[in-house]
Structure 1
Amino acid sequence: MSPNSSEQAVKPQILVITGISGAGRSTAANTLEDEGWYVVDNIPPQMLGSLAQLVKESPGTLPKVAVGIDIRARRQLADLPEAINKLRASDIDFSMLFMDAADKDIIARYEAQRRPHPLQQGGLVAEAIAEERRIFAGLQEEADYVIDTTGMNIHQLAKKVRETYAPGKERLVNITVMSFGFKYGTPSDVHYMADMRFIPNPHWVPGLRAQTGQDAGVRDFVFAQDGTEEFISNYIAALQPVIAGYRREGKLYATFAIGCTGGKHRSVAVSEEIARRLSEIEDVNISVHHRDMGRE
């Protein structure tokens, strides 16, 4: 059965994700979860029948379920072929994805993570991989789809999984525009940071000190200054290819930080305007956070 079959649009789906440890099963599962699948990790094969019954009884609640089964369940793997045959004979849209990669790539990934292979038990990783391949040999032949992740990074694998199981779906990039005050410290978890201290400070203008960048008086003052509009226009133009690149790479969350001295006037007014203009870009979700606006 093709993973892109139109039948999947009308039947509840169960997808079993299995394969060689280190080939990318967790990345595939995480990607599917981001796409709205309900993901269950490493359940015993004997529970697949009960899960299928639950899906059939609640198709609207659990329309797409991905089940991870790996070598940790090796004592129950003997029962997996029978469970799969029963699901194939049911009215569930069932399929199985097998993850694989060249031994050299798997060894390199375990070395980079400094974690042992589940079957290693003090021996060599290569020996553990060979044993796992022996155990999974028949199962791979039963798979509906095999993804070989040799030479792939996690972003390339995520893209491959989305192309296979969520084709044509546009990716929403979730962007937080954060204002902050440099005197309270720079935020740590941001992707781009801009400094508005080149704009005269409304703090020193009579009648504006008690206001914030959300008030009309402060906004008018900030946008009347030389360089403000030029900066925002150029900044938006610079961010557009960045956002497009984030979408291609599957990076769906980003924070752009806009700072001034106290995080109350200039950064707030500019953040609000940047967020407004970014919201005009297709397939983005914009939120605004004013970290320090309420401080004295």
Structure 2
Amino acid sequence: MTPASASGGPEVLIVTGMSGAGRTTAANVLEDLGWYVVDNLPPQMLRPLAELVGRAEGALPKLAVVVDVRGRALYHELAPSLKELREQGVTLRVLYLDTADDVLVRRFESVRRPHPLQGDGRMLDGIEAERDATSEVRGVADIVIDTSEMNVHQLADAVIKAFSENESGRILRVTVMSFGFKYGLPVDADHVIDVRFLPNPFWIPSLRDLRGTDQPVADWVLGHDEAETFLDRYVYALEPVMDGYDRENRHFVTFAIGCTGGKHRSVAMAVELARRLTSAGVTASAVHRDLGRE
């Protein structure tokens, strides 16, 4: 069976490089970007995995595989495996993470762990052995990132810029959750917004039994000038917040919008806030914690 090809098959990314250079950080960022990540795969398993993904019929369009020297002698099979897959038409890229020796020493010492190849020798012996083992793969890498002067946030930014399909590079996902204050605050809220200052549809007989997802209620709530003014100013105020989350590599944020019972005002406002954030280029969705509770 032929592995997935460049025409319609998945994209395969090999993440490799020096131990301590940031492979775990890179793998986490790729997972947040929607890649299916496999860690510490023996090179001999690359072909069977590519075949398996090819049979998934698009369920795993982007596959990232972390391969490193934890596999000891097996790592020497990586370069031949890459050559074979490319010859068979697999859409393949290699990301190699590198770091200066002195920086690697400091990083290993800070976590008080030995280098995986140092054995009974010095840490520098292990680093030198790893450089020898990975030199061939480094030579054929599509992207080399030197993380010597990077912290985890800067490395995450570099990976996002290299592999995000979003032109802005933003991978922040916002959940706008409606809730009722009488049922308690959501424990996972990053921001809590109180919209009990808005007129309450509960006191309108024709709207009382409807929900904020129903158009008559949404039109009534959003038709008030104070609702429009609040949404305009709140979305504007969120711009530096969103930028800050990007800089700090916060990928998931929850905004909780509350009214008394979580049925009318908060629901309509949550849907509209999510819509406006989406229009502003943020991946946002609305969920309703207490809708349906009486």
Tell me the TM-score normalised to structure 2 length: 0.74
- Choose 36-45 or 16-25, whichever is displaced more: 36-45
Residue 119 (structure 1) aligned with residue 121 (structure 2):
no
Residues 197-230 of structure 1, C-alpha deviation per residue, up to 9 Å, x if partnerless?
2234444555654443344665465446563332
Contact 1:44–1:73 (CA under 8 A) maintained in structure 2: yes
| Contact 2:202 2:208 (8 Å CA) reproduced | yes
Counterpart residue number, 1:164: 162
**Change in CA separation of 1:57 and 1:233 when aligned onto 2, cut-off 3 Å:** closer
Alpha-carbon distance in 2 for matches of 1:159, 1:92: 27
- Which amino acid in the other structure matches residue 130 of structure 2? I
Whole-Å Cα distance in 2 between the matches of residues 215 and 95 of structure 1? 48
Q: 2:64 — aligned with what?
A: 66
Q: Could you tell me which residue of structure 1 aligns to residue 279 of structure 2?
A: 280
Write the distance in 2 (CA, Å) between the matches of 1:86 and 1:228: 61
1:234 matched to 2:229: no
1:235 deviates by 0.8
The reply on whether 1:40 has 2:38 as its aligned counterpart is yes
Which residue of the other structure, out of 18, 22, 25, is the alignment partner of 1:27? Answer: 25
Instruction: State how far apart, in whole Å, the 1-side matches of 2:76 and 2:86 are.
Output: 17
- Tell me how far apart the structure 2 counterparts of residues 11 and 205 of structure 1 sit (CA, whole Å): 56
Q: Secondary structure of 1:279's partner?
A: helix
Q: What pairs with 1:1-296 in structure 2 (closer than 5 Å)? A: 14-51=12-49, 64-87=62-85, 91-102=89-100, 105-106=103-104, 116-117=113-114, 119=116, 127-128=122-123, 130-143=125-138, 144=141, 145-166=143-164, 169-170=167-168, 171=170, 173-204=172-203, 208-215=207-214, 218-219=217-218, 222-223=221-222, 227-243=226-242, 246=245, 251-282=250-281, 284-296=282-294
Shift of 1:181: 1.4
Alpha-carbon distance in 1 for matches of 2:188, 2:275? 22
- Deviation, structure 1 residue 195: 1.0
CA contact (8 A) 1:156 1:249 kept: no
Q: Residue 41 of structure 1 aligns to which amino acid in structure 2?
A: D
- Equivalent residue pairs, number: 286
Measured in 1, the distance between the counterparts of 2:192 and 2:87 equals 56
User: Does the 8 Å CA contact 2:117/2:126 hold for their aligned counterparts?
Assistant: no
One-letter code aligned to 2:280: I
Give aligned-pair identity as a percent: 47
Any conservation in 2 of the 1:24–1:99 contact (CA below 8 Å)? yes
Distance (whole Å) between structure 2 residues aligned to residue 20 and residue 32 of structure 1: 18
Question: Which shows bigger deviation, 262-271 or 85-94?
Answer: 85-94
1:86-107: CA deviation from partner (whole Å, max 9, x where unpaired) = 4565544555332222456556
1:121-174 Cα deviation digits (max 9, x unpaired)? 9999xx446414323324135412421112323332233223334577454643
Ranges in structure 2 where 5+ consecutive residues have no aligned partner? 1-5
Q: Separation in 2 of the partners of 1:183 and 1:76?
A: 59
- Indicate if the aligned counterparts of 2:196 and 2:258 stay in contact, CA closer than 8 A: yes
Report the Cα offset of residue 186 of structure 1: 1.1
Q: Distance in 1 between matches of 2:173 and 2:87?
A: 41
What's the CA shift for 1:185? 1.6
Contact 2:177 2:287 in 1 (8 A): yes
**Gapped regions of structure 1 (runs ≥ 5):** 1-7
Measure how far apart 1:291 and its partner are. 0.9
Q: TM-score, normalised by structure 1?
A: 0.74
* Higher mean displacement: 85-94 or 232-241: 85-94
Do the aligned partners of residues 137 and 187 (structure 1) sit closer, same or farther apart at CA in structure 2, a change above 3 Å counting?
A: same
Q: CA RMSD in A?
A: 4.0
AA in 1 matched with 2:154: Q
Query: In the alignment, residue 292 of structure 1 is paired with which amino acid?
Result: D
